[in-house]
Structure 1
Amino acid sequence: MAFSSRLSIYLIALGAFSLGMASYVTAGLIPLITSAFLVSDAMAAQLVTAFTLAYGLISPIAVALLPGNQQRTGLIIALALFVVANVASALAASFAMLVAWRALAGVGAGVYLALGIAASATLAPEAQRGKAIAVIMGGMASGTVLGVPLSLLLAEQLGWTSAMWLIALLGATSLAGLYLKLPDIPAAPYVSLWRKLPILKHPATLTILAVSLLGAIASLGMYTFIAPFMAASPSGETASIALYLWVWGVGGILGSFLIGPIVDKSQGSRVVLVIMLLLAVSLISLPVAASLHPWLALVPISLWGAVGWALQVPQNNALMRVRQQHGDGNLAVALNESALYLGSAIGAAAGGLMLSSALPVWILAVSASALAAAGALVQLTMGPRSH
């Protein structure tokens, strides 16, 4: 791979790092934001909703409308919007303006990640495409696991706006580098918006998206309830929940980076099948391990984090392959990211209903494992064989 292409991929990954921070840091800033704007916790939580809804619903539309010969420009503009929205968030004079800017940040983030993954896959030789996508997903995972605690620590010392400034600074660094160094991206064939709509009927594409959705409901949905799950451990007091979150996240970083070479050397459909089966095993073994001793739960949690994050590398690679001839691979990736956010929301809502129904907390892990197994079955019976 040429040096310029490798540099561009790492610059895109730096932008993904800042995106990972922005996606998850707001939840940790809620106590500081409620004090700054004199709003309730429930109201402040709508900042997360604004970001995720804009990310999941609006960004695929924006990607669909982008001309095939404007991929580089679209990537730069999306990242610029993300940076500006984070700067404006730090300067927001009212809570309503803050909500609006978080929504715009979500649009920029969603479009940037979809175009960034597509650009990385285009810049890398086909034999190294999985590794290139893994670098981007690893950057996002690192931003979530390493960047979020760092920005929250900074916010505790300097105020919540400092977290937004840090995100904007990292994004601006990536933006400057990409503006100067990102080569032209080969234009995709022109495809009108009307001709892009059949992507929602393409069997192989729908299968990939369905597996991603089931994986997200199982993995990200269960992640929402790590704290209450471990608090209800029958084996006694648990250590700080932060330890479990860190182990999950570190597993995610390792899984994101290590899966790339495997995808490049193996049949992608089999890799996805193995990942979904390992996800099901890790989740079903979580209640057993936690019941024996809280420390034993770290083993399935680390595996769960690794395979949960690793899943999107072969999935995005597969989408780029099956949609390449149609010229809408970036739209497929954007839809895949939407599936992740939708799956996270469905998992969190379903888990909340289970807990409110006074069901035992271990039911959450068992249900998540069943959904992962269902995803494995979908992959086995309907998954594309060409990737």
Structure 2
Amino acid sequence: MPFALYLLGLAVFAQGTSEFMLSGLVSDIARDLDVSIPVAGHLTSAFAVGMVVGAPLMAVLSRRFSRRSALLCFLLTFLAVHIVGALTTSFAVLLVTRVVGALANAGFLAVALVTATAMVEPDAKGRATSALLGGVTIACVAGVPAGALLGEVWGWRSAFWAVALISVPAVFAIARAVPAGGADVTGPSVLGELRVLRGPRLLVTLLLGALVNGATFCAFTYLAPLVTDVTGLGSGGVPVILALFGIGSFVGVAVGGRIADVRPVPLLVFGSLALLAGWALFALTAAHPVATVALVLIQGALSFGVGSTLISQVLYAASGAPNLAGGFATAAFNVGAAVGPLCGGLAISAGFGYRAPLWVSAVLVALALAVGGVGLRRASRVALGAP
């Protein structure tokens, strides 16, 4: 893999840390800026909405610039809003910085996905995707706990300064290592790319990505109360469980990237079946600490192995939409990241307890398997010349 890919991964690490770190900072932000905790929670919702809306929108806008220029513009904007966020004493200003930061994050990831796959051979998109998304998994393992620790020792603003600081070397690295190129003025038009993105195979893959990622974040969002109230490990066990999930996700991305380019369908089929069984087994055995520790690690690996493979399949299916494919992949996966926790929260509110999100995750994966099965059957009929 080109070294520039890992430099893009450094920026993705900073952005992943920013996206997830608020879960450990909301209480401090609410107290410091004199708002309620539910109001402070809107910062997370604002970021999620910005990611969903921003990914395709920023991908369209970035067509006017070279990929290096677009990446630098998005990353510098991301860096700047974190400095503003660290300095402001206004919750309204902080909320705006989260929306703008999410737009920049979405645009960067959309362009980075396309840039990464353009740097490698046409049959190596899976490995390129896994190298890039490794930054997100490392953020889960190290970045988010580190942000929470900084917030506890020096206040929530120090976590924002840390994200800005990590972004600085990524700016210089991208300026030096990513090929300059030019604006894509000879490629397909926006309408032409949108027509490609309406293809049945691509729409099915995007839906699968949203469902699998929804299952992942439905369970991940409520791991803390599950560990404390059901497993009985206490609050001290939460960081360990979250770190194990992150370690599993890193392993899943690394291994999945090597298989995704040569055997994607078996990986998706058997990986999804294992995911379904794993979420159901986790729900049944969540009261046992040993089972929880083992299944958090396994489910993290399976979730991100299947998820990163689906992203690479989007990029394969959308080769005729070189500029917008990454944006739509990013948007679909963030739809899942927003809808999954919402469904899990509704299940908890309905009185089904903290095991309920695990069952919801199993249902979402089952839906993905059903949709994928219909898609494969349809593709087989077309290949055989059936009407």
Same-fold call, TM cutoff 0.5: yes
Matches within 5 A, 1:233-272: 233=230, 237-239=232-234, 240-264=237-261, 266-272=262-268
- Asked whether the equivalents of residues 269 and 379 of structure 1 are also in contact (C-alpha less than 8 Å), the reply is no
The 5 Å alignment of 1:26-37 reads: 26-37=22-33
| Aligned twin of 2:205 | 208
For residues 311 and 324 of structure 2, what CA distance do their matches in structure 1 show?
Answer: 11
Alignment partner of 1:97 is 2:93: yes
For 1:259 and 1:330, how far apart are their aligned partners in 2? 24
Q: Is it true that 1:226 corresponds to 2:219 in the alignment?
A: no
Distance 1:69 1:32, change over 3 A: closer
Instruction: Find out whether 1:382 has 2:375 as its counterpart.
Output: yes
Deviations 1:347-382 (A, max 9, x none): 222222222222254443233212212212322331
Q: Does 1:309 align with 2:308?
A: no
Match of 2:79 among 80, 83, 92: 83
Q: CA deviation at 1:333?
A: 2.2
Q: Distance in 2 between matches of 1:190 and 1:342?
A: 28
* Partner secondary structure for residue 351 of structure 2: coil
- Alignment partner of 2:346 out of 332, 347, 353: 353
Secondary structure of 1:125's match? coil
| 1:292-339 CA-partner distances (Å, limit 9, x unpaired) | x22212222211111112223222221222211x2x244222222222
Contact residue 63 and residue 323 of structure 2 kept, 8 A? no
Structural mapping, 1:330-345, within 5 Å: 330-345=323-338
1:122 CA displacement: 0.7
Structure 2, unmatched stretches of 5+, are 381-387
What is residue 195 of structure 1 aligned with on the other side? 192
Separation in structure 1 between the aligned mates of residue 217 and residue 323 of structure 2, nearest angstrom? 23
Matched, 1:59 2:55: yes
Q: State the aligned residue count.
A: 375
Letter in 2 for 1:20: G
- Root mean square deviation of aligned Cα: 2.1
Cα distance between partner residues in 2 of 1:79 and 1:157: 27
* Identity between Structure 1 and Structure 2 (%): 24
Shift of 1:200: 4.9
Kindly provide the amino acid, as one letter, of the partner of residue 260 in structure 1. G
Q: Is the 8 A contact 2:54 2:104 kept in 1?
A: no
Pairing 1:367–2:363 present: no
User: What's the CA shift for 1:58?
Assistant: 2.2
Alpha-carbon distance between aligned partners in 1 of 2:356 and 2:58, rounded to the nearest angstrom: 39
Structure-1-length-normalised TM-score:
0.90
Query: Structure 1 pair 251/190, CA: closer, same or farther in 2 (3 Å)?
Result: same
Report if aligned partners of 1:319, 1:329 keep a CA contact under 8 Å in 2.
no
The AA in structure 1 aligned to 2:254 is F
Paired residue type of 2:26: I
The worse-fitting range, judged by mean Cα deviation, of 185-194 and 51-60 is 185-194
Deviation at 1:232, TM superposition (A): 4.6
- TM-superposed CA distance for 1:262, in Å, is 1.5
TM-score by length of 2: 0.90
Output one character per residue of 1:40-77: Cα deviation in whole Å (capped at 9) or x when no partner: 11111111122111111123112123327622211111
How big is the shift at 1:345? 2.1
